[in-house]
Amino acid sequence: MSNADQGGTAALELEGLEKSFGPTRIIRGVDLTIVRGERHAVIGPNGAGKSTLFHLISGHYRPTSGRIRLDGRDITGLSPEQINRRGLARSFQITNIFPQLSVWENVRCATLWAMGYRYNFWRDIDGLDDVRLRTEEILGQINLIERWDMPAGMLAYAEQRALEIGLALASDADILLLDEPMAGMSHAESQHMVELIRKVSENRTLLMIEHDMGVVFNLADRISVLVYGEIIASDTPERIKANADVQRAYLGTEVA
Amino acid sequence: MSDTSDTVVRPAGFPSGAAPGPLRRYGPWIVLALLLLVLPRVFSSGLSISTMCVMGTMIIFALSYNMLLGQSGLLSFGHAVFFGLGGFLTAQMMNMMAGGEGPLPLMVYPLVGGLAGLVFGVIFGAVATRRAGTAFAMITLGIGELVTSSALILRGFFGGETGITVDRTEIHQVFGLSFGPQVQVYYLIAGWCLVSVIAMYAITRTPFGRICNAVRDNPQRVNFVGYNTTVVRFIAFSLAGLFAGIAGGLASINFEIMNSAQMGAAESGSVILMAYIGGVGNFAGPIIGAIVVTYLHLMLSDLSDVWELYFGLLFISMVMYAPNGIAGVIMMQRPLIRRGQLLRVAPYYVLALIPGLVALAGLSMIIEMTHQLSISASEGLGMTMMGIAFNADALLPWLTAVVLLGGGGWLGVRAARLAREAYGAAMVRGRVQ
Ligand SMILES: Nc1ncnc2c1ncn2[C@@H]1O[C@H](COP(=O)(O)OP(=O)(O)O)[C@@H](O)[C@H]1O
Ligand SMILES: [Mg+2]
């Protein structure tokens, strides 16, 4: 299923990536290549810089130095919307939705750019069948059809997390960045989420941050371990499990 | 991939893609058109017709403002600039074409205003919409000051303090319409009002319109679904300028005079008042606000010299107690109606309203007596309110005022609490049934 071991083309390349806030170096020279079609997990202790790394890739932060390439094209310093239009979508660790809009409007807004409607202010949006079907498809995937007309801010926490993923899925990007999609979910909910992520990442490249080791070892083709802004190992789940550095720096403390 | 959605039963009302029936789609507009058509027959006095002319103009202006505040979350303090520039350009064009020289009839002149509003919306929008939030608000305030002070310098174009006058009957006439009679102007304004309202409503239901709502809600997230929020704000600002310009064009046709004060901060404040009092969260809100504020303005300025003070009080109490405006208060009753509970709660509203009005009477006595004592003292201290004559420095009226305000206020607060409880209980009851 994955071409990770077959040496496929690079979907995402990070080269000497650095990010400092004032004098504090948060990301300290990250080199990483995500191969097209692979499911790649980033793990690491709290405060290691995982979310910051995602903010750099998605254009939310500008790197202090280093380069980022998407499908071989340099995207360093581009704005979030430019990066999104080149086929990279993301979710956020802290739920980031449109709280006053209905669930339906949330997802529909996220489909519009990719479906080519952009800033169109002359077509009746309810008359756009492709948008409607796509919105319904996403709502089906994230199990929110029943909640379609509820203001998103009134959803239960786990439902908001599902919507958060829905917004990332809606733009039909080739590369998905999911920041702790299962955080705070019950076991059953995260079980469903794992299946959903597995399914939607079938024809895509997935880069996700996750704390649950069960999920990570089950879902990922490769795992990178980020500690204090540096990647100390990047390998298959089996070899990461066996890696002594990782044991010491991370697994030993969290998964006893 | 779509198998999930096929197996799930769609809940009631779920978007099916079926086009709404012609009655649903065009019915409200046809009703509105008929209403606009018959209004001058129902309210046929000269005063009513000229009031409705102002209302029609203000409806367009307030709705255009709500494209910014309500739809896109942009608080502009300079929206009257586009109203004013639209008005001035229309007036100048009319003066150029006076004497029936130009081939265009008066009906199309508001387009000149719209075009002016659009062009200046593009120019000023290019600057202002680079920022959001407070910075945006401050820039629009600056633009307002800039334009009004420039208008006083460019006397040739803006006519200085007196402004410029026009004669709408001098324009090329068609269908025997001279636009001398005010009722003809009414129909001109009503027509443009209908077209503008429909257009602005339609825009809310387009991809752009929905993205405006998303930008209002969470601009940062909009970036991550592919949109440049600056561009969204810029388009909204330009379109709002277009419709404000149409309103300004209509105003200059209606009043036959444009004055640079009509572009100023007071006018920009007044449109905020209209949108807010009507309700910015609902498309119909600014329409209600424009009608109510225009009416109150006319009525209060007749009744009291300090009518602006009452507006201030109204505005503050709306912001504090009904932040969603009149439309919001009406929308709050919808769940009650659906639960069949409105009639059980309505008596409590009346119960709260009566002491509220008593308190208001007390307050306005204090305001008017103070005004009489300070500003109008040269005219003597005698005054009348509600047909009762008294002296502004007598003890009894002051005592009465304090008792009315205090007693009415105290009862009003208690009654309001009861009404809130009744509302809550009705919602619960409705759910149980
Ligand atoms: N905008 C910021 N300004 C200053 N420090 C920041 C900022 N964002 C993150 N940090 C710091 O960077 C470190 C890494 O944060 P983060 O990337 O959220 O970690 P992780 O996601 O791995 O838990 C933390 O110490 C955090 O305080
Ligand atoms: Mg994080």
* Contact call for A124 and B206, based on CB within 8 A: yes
Q: Is the pLDDT of residue B268 over 90?
A: yes
pLDDT tens digits, residue range B360-407?
Answer: 999 988 888 888 888 877 777 777 777 788 887 888 889 999 999 999
Taking the C-alpha atoms of residue A229 and residue B312, their distance in angstroms, rounded to an integer, is: 55
* Contact call for B218 and A98, based on CB within 8 A: yes
Helices B265-278 and B46-72: crossing angle in degrees, nearest 10, is 80
CB of A84 closer than 8 Å to CB of B225: yes
pTM of the model: 0.93
**Least trusted range by pLDDT, from A3-12, B81-90, B341-350:** A3-12
User: What pLDDT is stored for residue A7 in this prediction?
Assistant: 59
Q: What is the mean pLDDT of residues A180-198?
A: 90
How far away, in angstroms, is A49 Cα from ligand 1 center? Answer: 6
Taking the C-alpha atoms of residue B36 and residue A16, their distance in angstroms, rounded to an integer, is: 68
Which chain A residues are closer than 8 Å to B5 by Cβ?
Answer: 136-137, 139-141, 145
Domains and CATH numbers, chain B: 22-324 (1.10.3470), 334-432 (no CATH)
Q: Is the pLDDT of residue A225 over 80?
A: yes
User: What pLDDT is stored for residue A38 in this prediction?
Assistant: 96
- H or E stretch covering B5: helix B3-7
Q: What are phi and psi for residue B11, nearest 5 degrees?
A: -70, 165
* Contact call for A122 and B226, based on CB within 8 A: no
B78, B114, B56: which is closest to B271 by C-alpha?
B78
Q: What is the mean pLDDT of residues B307-314?
A: 87
Sign of CA dihedral B346, B348, B349, B350: positive
Domains and CATH numbers, chain A: 1-87+174-256 (3.40.50.300), 98-172 (no CATH)
Taking the C-alpha atoms of residue B210 and residue B217, their distance in angstroms, rounded to an integer, is: 11
Closest alpha carbon within chain B to A100? B217
Phi-psi region of A229 (alpha: psi -120 to 50; beta: other; left: phi over 0): left
Token pair listed for A246: 């990782």
CB of A152 closer than 8 Å to CB of A102: yes
Taking the C-alpha atoms of residue A195 and residue A212, their distance in angstroms, rounded to an integer, is: 15
pLDDT tens digits, residue range B134-189?
Answer: 999 999 999 999 999 999 898 888 888 888 988 777 777 778 777 878 889 999 99
B206 closest CB neighbour out of A97, A101, A122: A122
Taking the C-alpha atoms of residue A83 and residue A60, their distance in angstroms, rounded to an integer, is: 10
User: What pLDDT is stored for residue A222 in this prediction?
Assistant: 97
> Which is higher by pLDDT, B355 or B6?
B355
pLDDT tens digits, residue range A134-188?
Answer: 999 999 999 999 999 999 999 999 999 999 999 999 988 999 999 999 988 888 8
Closest alpha carbon within chain B to A132? B17
User: What pLDDT is stored for residue B292 in this prediction?
Assistant: 95
How many C-beta atoms surround the C-beta of residue B93 within 10 A?
22
Q: Which residues contact B25 (CB under 8 A, 6 or more apart)?
A: B19
Q: Determine what percent of chain B is predicted with pLDDT higher than 70.
A: 97
First and final CA of chain B: distance in angstroms?
A: 40
pLDDT tens digits, residue range B84-143?
Answer: 999 999 999 988 887 767 788 888 999 999 999 999 999 999 999 999 999 999 999 999
Q: Is the pLDDT of residue B2 over 50?
A: no
- ipTM value, please give it: 0.94
Single-letter amino acid code for the residue at A146: E
**Least trusted range by pLDDT, from A130-134, B55-59, B157-161, B413-417:** B157-161
- H or E stretch covering B303: helix B285-303
Q: Does B21 touch chain A (CB under 8 A)?
A: no
